[in-house]
Structures are given as structure tokens and as C-alpha cells.
Structure 1
Amino acid sequence: MLRRSLMAAAIAATTALPAIAQDAWPSRPITLMGGFPNGAGTDIYARRLAEPLSRVLGQPVVVDNRTGAGGNIGSDYVAKQRPDGYTFYFGTAGTHAINAALYRSLPFDVIRDFTPVVLLGDVPNVLIVSPEKRPNLRTCQDVLAAARARPQAVSYGSTGNGASTHLAGAQFAAAANLDVLHVPYRGQPGAMASLLAGDTDLFFNQSGAAMGPIRQGQVRPIFVLTRERLAALPDVPTVAEACGLPPMDTSTWYGILGPAGLPEPIVRRMNQEVNRIISTPEFREWLINNQAITPPVAPNTPEQFAQTLRADVARWAEVVRRSGAQVD
């Protein structure tokens, strides 16, 4: 009887181990992996979020970037990690929707190999130029006139082939019937440096990374590629207002994902804590007026994020097809 009792107790304790470990999450530092360089919009947001998230979780949230291949290197790394709640990915519509159509072969599946956790907001694009290097480009009509006068002479930089900064430019060029030169760089720093040096003429940049240089006067915003003006840039017209083109919206999203099989309690806890942080007045103010990012609408569940991801895979496949974007 004693032996049977001890065996039953041992089995019960063993069975309870996963639940105990899960309830104790997190018990060590968490990595929030990004796929783009320091200074990119994703990096700016991730670092702003990491500090309050560390406080509420009681463990450090460390931002780490593994760059290259349009975010695929970082995505692949996270997809292959244990689903234990200690590695998350700061993903985008680029890494998890555009790349699915842009690359013929990926070492991971953007749907099957990830667990959507929480949407972080919609990120618009804004056309910027260097007022020092291109003082003649002040309006959309200036851009259109310059591009039509000399086909392939006007260039636009991007953060990489197939990135939203590339596809925004490709969509604009197609809508305006322009023949402009695309010059891809490996991330935000290279594309911005090229613009400021005068090596490229235009940059259809994401708002989060563009707002700092805009406020510092380093770059001039020409128009936003959204259907309505942005609260952070109320004097900057939309592409329809500025160019006389049909309304256009090239906005993408930011979100946090984990490896496939992430336990439900961890998904719910992470979703809950992030939503609490980004819905505070202070954080919303930073998103809307500092980064020009539209916060997600409540309740912002993991299931809603999963639906957005699946819909965007189909949406961006069509955009990539129409744009003719290719990976070198």
C-alpha cells in the first residue's frame, strides 16, 4: 500500500510539472527578436515597449536584431526556437505576409511555424526627400515632373527588395505611370544615409523611422500614402490630395509572434500585458503623435491577429504580383 501510494504521488508530481513551470512563467529573461537593424521602425518600437513590459513581467525583455533577407533571418531563428515563452519575434506585414509572396522558397512557413500573440498597430508610409540635396522637390507635382522629364533618372531608396518601403514606391510609380529607379539597401540606416547624401532622390519610408528626421528638419515630407492625413503630420497631404491620384494606402502592421505551439496561458498573458501597455494614454500618445502609428482596436486578441495575418498573406501576394517586385 505504501509503495502504491508513493508511486501515485510521484506520478501526480510529474504530471503537475508542466503546469507548475507554466504558471511560473517567466522565470528568466525574454528575448524580443527583430529582423531589421538598430534604428529601424521595428527596433524603435521594440525598445520603447521592452522597458514597461520588463516591469510588468518581472523579467528583463531584451531586444535583439538578427538582420538580413528582408527579416527572414530573424523569422527563421524564432521559428526554430522552443515554444517556451522566452523567444518572441517582432514581426511585420513584410516579414509575415509580403515575404511569403516575394520569396519562392522560405525555410519556414509564415502561418504554420508561428503563434500570433498580439497586434501592435498599423504603420503608414510617407514620401520624404532631402531639402538640402533636392531643394527643387517640394510637392508631388515637382516629383512627377522630374520623373517624367527623365525616365530612370529619379531614384528611390528602400530598406530592401520587397520591403514595404519598396512596394510603396512601386505602387506609387504604377499609379502615376512613372519609370523610376529602385535602389534597395539592407535596412533603414543605409537607405536614410543614401537619401541624406543625395545618392537617391526619394524614400517612401515607414512613419516610425521617418518622424525623427522630419522633426529635426533633415528631411521634407511630401505626402503620406494613406487615405486620410496623419495626426502626427496634419499639414502633410495624402497622396490623393497631393498628386491627384486615386486614394492609396500602403500601411503595414507590427505584431509580436512566438514559435508554433506556444502554450495558451503564455499567449494570453503576453497579449494581456502588451495590450495594457500600448493602451495607456502615454503610450498611445507616443504611437499616434510621435510615430504616426495607428494603435490596434480593442479587444485585439490573438485570434484577431491570426485572421489579419492570413488575410494579409493573400492581400500582399496580389500587390507583389502587380508590382513585379523580385528578390535579387
Structure 2
Amino acid sequence: MRRTLFAAAIAAATSLPALAQDAWPSRPVTLMGGFPNGAGTDIYARRLAEPLSRALGQPVVVDNRTGAGGNIGSDYVAKARPDGYTFYFGTAGTHAINAALYRNLPFDVMRDFTPVVLLGDVPNVLLVNPEKRPNLRSCQDVLTAARARPQALSYASTGNGASTHLAGAQFATAARLELLHVPFRGQPGAVASLLAGDTDLFFNQTGAAMGPIRQGQVRPLFVLTRERLAALPEVPTVAEACGLPAMDTSTWYGILGPANLPEPIVRRMNTEVNRIISTPEFRAWLVENQAISPPAAPNTPEQFRETQRADVARWAEVVRRSGATVD
């Protein structure tokens, strides 16, 4: 009898994690971001949180912990319990570029995270302030002004080594220009500098740029993609506008969890998010409102991992060529 009771107790104890896992989620889920309110990641995360809350049956809370190019938020999630209640709204910046940019990260972008689902590709668009810089109406105007006076034209970015910085660096290298880079801590400062006329250019991500474009605050000169965007059909590509070789500085958004996140939780989260972003309404918002390209088909965690792995190598070379560093 004692042996039977002991065996039953052991069986019950070992089944507790599975039972708790089956009940996931039983409380609110946090979707951590690494950039300020109003950034492209924040806009997307908040749009996703509402339908995801309904799908999971628990609130999905967006919480931004900003600083160090997204590393503060990344580090928080890397050290969180892998119980399915803390996820990170990551980017190619936080989980590929930063691996080459920062010398002493407190985490490993591959080893310390579980890829869950890819959310889409995010292009860059060159913006100017039509009121402050009426002379910059085309790419040729930018090329002429920059070549006449090296480093006279400045471009804002959301941080040293951010995709908004590296897009500008890639363009300058391709066009053989010397532009002055002015980094800010996130989207608000960079936008404010452009609107105030303190900087001349901004190679912004489309998700955050669409609002100012539609409000007429900024003028898009070209997109740094190989094809025109459905949301900006009148805006030429960098190849069309500048006569330069085609280039694509697009990055990606994706959701990651801490390392060792249980497989059933990964699959459930992946399934629910894929279902939401595949709906006609959500896809239309992404493509037409944010100029973001969602995955063509439901994206698996394994596919996301391979995308991340390839981008770590790709952006390491871009960072090396740009000379960008963060001490």
C-alpha cells in the first residue's frame, strides 16, 4: 500500500508541469518591447495585443523597457522564467545587428532566446522635411547637395547602429557620399529633429513613417527596397530615383521568448499569432497602413530561427563595412 501511494504521489508530482502547461495562459502575458512609445515596434505590438488577448483568453500587456538599442528589454526577457508569460517583440536590430555592434552583450542573441514567430519585413524610406528643406525634392537633389559639400547634409537615426543608421550608411557607401550621422535615443527624438530642421534626412522604417507622411509633415523621396511598396506606390525605389544599384535594407519584426520555452507554449503562440496576421483585415493594415510585408505563409519557429541565423551573418558584414561601433 505504501509503495502504491508513493508511486501515485510521484506520478502526480511529475504531471504538475504538464497540467500547468496545458492551462497556459492562466494570467496576463507580457509582450516586452525595447523602444519608446510611437516606435514601429510599439505600433505593431499594440495592434497585435488586442486580438491576441482574445485568442489566448488572457490580457496581453505591452511593456516597453527602452535603452541601449533595445538591449535592456532583450536582457530582461533573456533572464525571465521560461513559463510563457514574458515574450519579446524583437527586431533584426535587437537580435542580429546588436550581436555585431555591441562588444559585451550580457546575453547571446541566439542561445538565450526561443524564436516563436516572424511578424514581417520592414523597409526603410528616406524622408525630408518639405518646409525646412524645400530644395530637396528628389534623390538627385540629395546627391548634388551632398557631393557639393561633404558632411553638410545630416541624417537622423533612432540610435547608433540601428537599422535607421545602417540604412543611411549603406546608401552613403553606394552613392559615395559623406553624410553626417546624428543618432537619437529612439523614434521621437529623430522625428523631432527632422521636423525642427535640425537634421536634413531620416532613413526611417515605414511603420513609424506612414503617419507623418500621410499628415504631410515629411516628404518620402525613395524606398530602400528592390520594388515599390503597395502603401507608397508613387514613391520610387532607390534604384529608380538615384540611378544606383538596387538595394534592400529591410529588417524584420518577430516574437521571441526566453531560452527553453516549452514546446507546447511555443506552438500555441505561433499558431495564434500566425492566424491573426493572416486575416485579411490585419494583412491589409500591415501592407497598406504600415508598408510591412507579412510572411507569405504561416511562419514556423524553425524558419524564424534560420532567418535570424542568416541575418546575424548578413548584418555583421554591414556593421563591419559601416564602421559603426558602440562601446
TM-score by length of 1: 0.99
The residue number in structure 2 matching 1:253 is 252
Deviation at 1:153, TM superposition (A): 1.0
Counterpart in 2 of 1:77?
Answer: 76
State the partner residue of 2:65: 66
What is residue 216 of structure 1 aligned with on the other side? Answer: 215
The Cα of 1:220 is off from its aligned counterpart by: 0.3
1:132-143 paired onto structure 2 within 5 Å? 132-143=131-142
Structure 2 residue aligned with 1:320: 319
In 2, Cα distance between equivalents of 1:87 and 1:157:
32
What is the alpha-carbon distance in structure 2 between the residues aligned to residue 22 and residue 86 of structure 1?
11
**2:18 match:** 19
SS in 1 for 2:36: coil
Question: Match for residue 112 of structure 1?
Answer: 111
Q: Which amino acid aligns with 2:181?
A: H
Q: CA deviation at 1:297?
A: 2.3
In the alignment, is residue 29 of structure 1 matched against residue 28 of structure 2? yes
Match of 2:161?
A: 162
Q: CA deviation at 1:229?
A: 0.2
Residue 255 of structure 1 aligns to a residue whose secondary structure is strand
**Any idea what the Cα deviations from partners look like across 1:73-96, whole Å, max 9, x if unmatched?**
110010000000000000000000
User: Deviation at 1:323?
Assistant: 1.1
Contact 2:103 2:326 in 1 (8 A): no
Displacement of 1:175 in angstroms is 0.5
Q: How does 1:212-251 map to 2 (within 5 A)?
A: 212-251=211-250
**CA distance in structure 2 between the aligned counterparts of 1:288 and 1:299, rounded to whole angstroms:** 16
- Deviation, structure 1 residue 326: 1.8
Q: Distance in 1 between matches of 2:150 and 2:71?
A: 33
How far apart are residue 112 of structure 1 and its match?
A: 0.3
Q: Which residue of 2 aligns with 1:262?
A: 261
Q: Distance in 2 between matches of 1:180 and 1:306?
A: 35
DSSP 3-state at the match of 2:83: coil
**1:34, 1:251 → 2: CA distance?**
19
In 2: Cα distance, 1:275 partner to 1:141 partner: 41
Name the residue aligned to 2:291: 292
Alignment of 1:91 with 2:79, yes or no, is no
CA offset at residue 324 of structure 1?
Answer: 1.2
**Contact (CA 8 Å) 2:230, 2:287: kept in 1 or not?**
yes
1:299 Cα deviation from its structure 2 partner: 3.1
Paired with 1:237 and 1:22, the residues of 2 have a C-alpha distance of 49
Query: Residue type matched to 2:69 in 1?
Result: G
Deviations 1:136-179 (A, max 9, x none): 11100011111111111100000000000000000000111111
**Which letter does structure 2 place at the counterpart of 1:75?**
S
Contact 2:88–2:257 (8 Å) recurs in 1: yes
Q: Which residue of 1 aligns with 2:145?
A: 146
User: How well do the aligned residues superpose, as a CA RMSD in angstroms?
Assistant: 0.7
Deviations 1:272-295 (A, max 9, x none): 000000000000000000000000
1:124 is matched with 123
Letter in 2 for 1:69: A
CA deviations 1:211-255 (Å, max 9, x no partner) are 010011010000000000000000000000000000010000000
Aligned to 1:207: 206
In 1: Cα distance, 2:8 partner to 2:259 partner: 32
Determine the C-alpha separation between the residues in 2 that align with 1:45 and 1:197: 26
Aligned partner of 1:193 in structure 2 is: 192
SS of residue matched to 2:220: strand
Deviation at 1:4, TM superposition (A): 2.3
Alignment partners' CA distance in 2, 1:192 and 1:100: 26
Give distance in 1, aligned partners of 2:21 and 2:71.
29
1:37-74 deviations in Å (ceiling 9; x for gaps): 00000000000000000001000000000111100111
- Three-state SS of the structure 2 residue aligned to 1:146 is helix
Residue 182 of structure 1, CA deviation? 0.1
Match of 1:177 in 2: 176
Does the CA contact (< 8 Å) of 2:276 and 2:282 recur in 1?
yes
- State the SS of the aligned residue for 2:156: strand
Q: Which residue of 2 aligns with 1:55?
A: 54
Q: What residue identity is the alignment partner of 1:230?
A: L
Alignment partners' CA distance in 1, 2:267 and 2:79:
21
Within 1, Cα distance between the matches of 2:259 and 2:279? 29
Query: Could you tell me which residue of structure 2 aligns to residue 305 of structure 1?
Result: 304
